[in-house]
Amino acid sequence: MICTSVPAVKTARRHRIPLLLLALLLTLGACREPAADRLYALKLEHAPTEADWQRALPRAVVVRGGRVHKVAVFPDIDKDTVHTSTPSCHHGGAIPTPLTVEMKAFYTDTDLFVRLSWRDLTRDDAMNRWQWDGKDWRNDGALEDGFGLLWDTRPTPEPAFSCSLACHIEDFGVAGATFHARNHMKLATDGSWLDLWNWKADRTGRFGFADDRWLDRGGMHGDQPGDLHRPNSRAALAGEKPFGPGDAPLYDDKGRAVDGAFRPAGSQAPGWLTERPSGRRADVRASAFRQGDMWVVTLRRALDTGDPHDIAFSPDRQDGYAFGLSVMDHTLDEHYASRATERLVLLPPSAGRARTTE
């Protein structure tokens, strides 16, 4: 139980306790315990600085069930043997260790800012990158890191929101010791939709955005229709499977057409070509950096975009906004996912006026 008072303010100043935390306690009431499943966003008069992020209120979101990317020490061993820490529905019975993602948030008069930080020992931000060996183009088949933030837009909170609402298993089958299933992002029932922000370390991260999408019974849709990504592959252009032996990129890493001109060994080309989004598809901006073995990604979106398939945020909604989080580690589908109902709460503007003491 928390009971704040004038002496508490003096104590905070004496011990240099961040006043952003104290502001939360004062805002919640004199003797009220803050809910444990909340990500609190404080109001600022400006876009948050690094100093603001350092003293922001963290919320630890635990995600489970993903596939950890480990560099194979013995590459000739069967992949099902190497990946012993993968989800039981993909690679056997071993259950991977849960992953903790630290989330922080602020908002201004116009925008919401959300920062996510999590540990990832392998930096995977070069999906299907090409490399020229002096004779042929080689593709390493690498995948990418990423995450998805899924927002509940349903008018009623039943059933309780979690990422499982949008993970629909199809083509389920078991033959002897073999399990197969395809996970599709789609809803099980008609009449509702969810807002999805999808950050990919390579395909969107290089261009400073998170893909703004929405889900319904029919599956996943871009806020503005169309494909943003296509393989940088001659084979794909011919309607064949890309990135295999004998294939080659269409463009190099400087955007120049790949032809027969000389290029030094070690030259590279991206595996995917991304069309920069425009209009409604470009609503979610993203910046990312590595801090040691951590990914740190900051998202920015208008509180209200006016798009009928975007959730609108307001401090007037005291119960906040339910969301789910999934994290990908060098994979496209075997992801970690939150199971509990998480909520973002935009605190009243008065709470955001606090500053740390000097």
266 occurs within a structural domain: yes
CATH number, domain with residue 282:
2.60.40.1190
Report the range out of 178-182, 213-217, 352-356 with the highest average pLDDT.
213-217
pLDDT tens digits for range 241-277: 999 999 999 999 999 999 988 999 999 999 999 998 8
pLDDT band at 346 (very low <50, low <70, confident <90, very high): very high
> In sequence order, what E strands does 153-291 have?
167-175, 178-185, 194-200, 211-216, 219-222, 229-231, 268-269, 272-274, 285-291
Say how far apart CA 269 and CA 34 lie, in whole Å: 50
Adjacent-strand bridge partners of 125: 144
Rg (CA), the chain: 23
pLDDT tens digits for range 94-146: 457 899 999 999 999 999 999 999 999 999 999 999 999 999 999 999 999 99
Closest-CA residue to 165 (of 174, 173, 156, 176): 156
Residue-level pLDDT at 80: 40
- Give Cα 324 to chain centroid, integer Å: 10
9 occurs within a structural domain: no
Average pLDDT, the chain: 80
Say how far apart CA 125 and CA 202 lie, in whole Å: 4
217 occurs within a structural domain: yes
- CA angle 76-81-83, nearest 5°? 105
Average pLDDT over residues 201-210: 95
Say how far apart CA 185 and CA 169 lie, in whole Å: 9
Residue-level pLDDT at 348: 93
pLDDT band at 173 (very low <50, low <70, confident <90, very high): very low
Buried b or exposed e, range 101-138, using 16+ CB within 10 angstroms: bbbbbbbbeebbbbbbbbebeeebbbbbbbbbeeeebe
Average pLDDT over residues 145-158: 86
249 occurs within a structural domain: yes
CB 22 within 8 A of CB 355: no
Lowest mean pLDDT among 62-71, 153-162, 240-249, 258-267: 62-71
How many structural domains comprise the chain? 1
Residue-level pLDDT at 107: 98
Residue-level pLDDT at 339: 84
* Residue 196 confidence (pLDDT) above 60: yes
7 occurs within a structural domain: no
39 occurs within a structural domain: no
**Model pTM greater than 0.85?**
no
**Cα separations (Å) of 156 from 122, 153, 186, 218, 227?**
40, 9, 19, 21, 32
Show the tokens assigned to 314.
């307001």
* Residue 350 confidence (pLDDT) above 70: yes
pLDDT tens digits for range 6-18: 344 343 443 333 5
Residue-level pLDDT at 242: 97
Domain that holds residue 190: 44-352
Residue-level pLDDT at 66: 59
Tell me: cis bond preceding 159? Omega within 30 of 0 counts: yes
pLDDT tens digits for range 73-88: 444 444 443 333 333 3
SS (H, E, C) 112-176: EEEEEEEECCCCCECCCCEEECCCCEEECCCCECEEEEEEECCCCCCCCCCHHHHEEEEEEEEEC
pLDDT tens digits for range 319-344: 999 999 999 988 876 678 888 889 99
150 occurs within a structural domain: yes
Residue-level pLDDT at 165: 63
pLDDT over 70 percentage in the chain: 72
**Which residue type, as a one-letter code, is found at position 186?**
K
31 occurs within a structural domain: no
Residue-level pLDDT at 133: 96
Residue-level pLDDT at 68: 63
Report the range out of 41-50, 210-219, 332-341 with the highest average pLDDT.
41-50
